[in-house]
Structure 1
Amino acid sequence: MTKISEDLMLSNHQAKTKQTGSNILGKDDFLKILITQLQNQDPTSPMQDREFIAQMASFSSLEQMTNMNQTMQQFLSFQTESSLLQQSQMIGKQVTYETETVDAEGNKKIEEKEAVVKSVLFEKGSVMLEMSDGTKITSYQVIKITDQAK
């Protein structure tokens, strides 16, 4: 008769854990903790219904917050793309824009400049207009838009 070694038993087997490098518990981690808690509860005093319902409500809230976060990330991505496409209509237009400079005494001075929009790009988290003189500005600095004189 073949004898089964104790080191082959499931209770003696150590599961390999995957380290993600994050200290944040996600919805899968929360569910694993809840299942482990249910498996290891004392049969003489099982978890109260209220406790279980509260934990399930917490799990549901966590899942919905995670889904909302993903949706917001997608929304922000679409907003950026939309803004880039809208601003691309400015290419080739003559614009007047404001720039802030500091004079020799340290006083702030607002100057108006004119240039043709050469390109539109996404830089440092916002949509920028690159002018024909090499200056990069935001659309908030633009005060006038005209067709380029031919």
Structure 2
Amino acid sequence: MTKIDPSLYLSNQPSRSPSPELGKDEFLKILMTQLQSQDPTNPMDDREFISQMAEFSSLEQMMNMTNSIDTLVQSQLVSPVIKYSHMIGKEVTYQAYDEETGEKLDIETSKVIAVSQKDGWAILELENGEKIYADAAIQVSNPDSSENNGEDPTDPENPEDEESE
């Protein structure tokens, strides 16, 4: 008696899960099958065929646009300039160093006026003329909050607010 090869059993075959999405390849296969199995005495209407081709073209254009938008979004997420652009106008506190000796100087605070990029790292350009790496900032704050000494400028109890009226 002949034996059946166990590798041919269905349980040994890799499982395939059907995709819930209909892509352009699947659409073309369905269209070609439809054309091949149509009744020769009653062929598909020209308008219906043109409509299906227009749908296919529209689907392909939408897929290309989606890929382009995804690429754009990914490139913006990676860019350090865009990532740190929200810091423009903020005050940063950082450890200053002597460029020649590398010796630590005082801790300084200055306003960010621009963000640039060097070798993939974000560089904060400061109002005092310094340029520091974004990760060298010790503290980031709004310049408005430090000038008011913690007082709310819209607070009716604030005497400065009454003088300005």
TM-score range, shorter chain: 0.3 to 0.5
Higher relative contact order, structure no. (Cα contacts within 8 Å, ≥ 6 residues apart): 1
TM-score (norm: length of structure 1): 0.48
Structure with more strand by fraction: 1
Normalised to the residue count of structure 2, the TM-score between the two structures is 0.44
Q: Which has the larger radius of gyration?
A: 2
